[in-house]
């Protein structure tokens, strides 16, 4: 069954009205027509079953028929703190880690970041929404504008005691880290940009209570490291493969 994300306020009216780009997606891309059923989900992750009443490329109306109780979210809450990547690499990381179930993505500007600013936040949010819809998730990850690395530790709600910074120059074996965190329900993963984190940044993270870990003997591209780290954590502590 197709899923569409809409604002909670849109669910207050009956029938529900879906307009513009999302209506075009339902009508022109998915070829939805009156009588078809879908799942509508608000920004808080509350989902409902609905039946389409009318459909056009500019507006789709639907009747709410009940609650949808299918929960596709992982029991592990993952915050990905990603060194800002150039070009389409950041888009790729956001898309794939959304599919893998991350909850929050915070881009950070580090000493070795090859770009220092970006205006791509609206694009990133759209990519995350599309990936969440495609993978059948109940929620869209929250994505923030880039932070300076030294400011990230003042980020409200960041649980650094369950934080891991991945460093190609060494650290604990990831199996040992996941064993220590086996009862954790949330974790922060720090992945560097092209070139990785500097030694100064790793020392700063250690001083804040974050442990270092390695993904093995081979040096991975930044985007590969992000997907690998999230996958391993979801397998070890979350719901991947369950």
pLDDT value at residue 165:
93
Rounded Cα distance between 97 and 233, Å, is 12
Is residue 160 scored above 70 in pLDDT?
A: no
What percent of the chain clears pLDDT 90, i.e. is strictly above it? 47
- Quick one: which of 242, 107, 92, 232 has its CA closest to 173? 232
pLDDT value at residue 67:
86
- Parallel/antiparallel/unpaired status of strands 104-109 and 142-143: parallel
pLDDT per residue as tens digits for the range 44-71: 788 889 999 999 988 999 999 988 877 8
Rounded Cα distance between 82 and 166, Å, is 11
Is residue 231 scored above 80 in pLDDT?
A: yes
Is residue 184 scored above 90 in pLDDT?
A: no
pLDDT value at residue 233:
92
pLDDT value at residue 103:
95
Is 63:53 a contact under the CB 8 Å cutoff?
A: yes
pLDDT value at residue 57:
87
pLDDT value at residue 71:
83
pTM: 0.86
Structural domains of the chain, with CATH: 2-67 (2.40.240.20), 77-237 (3.40.1280.10)
Rounded Cα distance between 38 and 13, Å, is 17
Rounded Cα distance between 16 and 9, Å, is 10
pLDDT per residue as tens digits for the range 197-225: 999 999 999 888 888 998 888 888 999 99
pLDDT value at residue 76:
93
What integer is the mean pLDDT of 133-160? 87
pLDDT value at residue 201:
94
- Quick one: which of 132, 153, 136, 145 has its CA closest to 201? 153
What integer is the mean pLDDT of 170-198? 87
The band of 117, judged by pLDDT with boundaries at 50, 70 and 90, is confident
Higher per-residue confidence, 161 vs 130: 130
Mean pLDDT of the chain: 89
What percent of the chain clears pLDDT 70, i.e. is strictly above it? 99
Lowest mean pLDDT across 43-57, 111-125, 171-185, 186-200: 171-185
Is residue 97 scored above 90 in pLDDT?
A: yes
pLDDT value at residue 198:
92
Sign of the four-CA dihedral 226, 130, 51, 139: positive
């Amino acid at each position: 069954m197709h899923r569409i994300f809409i604002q909670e306020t849109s669910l207050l009216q009956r029938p529900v009205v879906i307009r513009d780009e999302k209506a075009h997606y339902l009508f022109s891309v998915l070829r939805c027509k009156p009588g078809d059923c879908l799942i509508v989900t608000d920004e808080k992750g509350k989902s409902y079953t609905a039946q389409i009443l009318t459909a056009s490329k500019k507006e789709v109306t639907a009747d709410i028929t009940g609650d949808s109780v299918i929960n596709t979210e992982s029991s592990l809450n993952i915050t990905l703190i990603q060194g800002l990547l150039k070009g389409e690499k950041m888009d790729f990381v956001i898309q794939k880690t959304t599919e893998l179930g991350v909850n929050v993505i915070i881009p950070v500007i580090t000493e070795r970041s090859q770009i220092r600013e970006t205006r791509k936040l609206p694009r990133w949010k759209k990519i995350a929404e599309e990936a969440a819809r495609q993978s059948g998730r109940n929620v869209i990850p929250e994505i923030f504008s880039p932070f300076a690395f030294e400011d990230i530790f003042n980020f409200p709600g960041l649980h650094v005691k369950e934080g891991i910074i991945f460093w190609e120059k060494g650290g604990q074996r990831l199996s040992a880290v996941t064993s220590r965190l086996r009862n954790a329900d949330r974790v922060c993963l720090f992945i560097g940009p092209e070139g990785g984190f500097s030694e100064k940044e790793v020392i700063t993270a250690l001083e804040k209570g974050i442990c270092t870990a390695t993904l093995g003997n081979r040096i991975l591209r930044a985007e590969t490291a992000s997907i690998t780290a999230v996958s391993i954590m979801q397998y070890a502590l979350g719901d991947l493969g369950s």
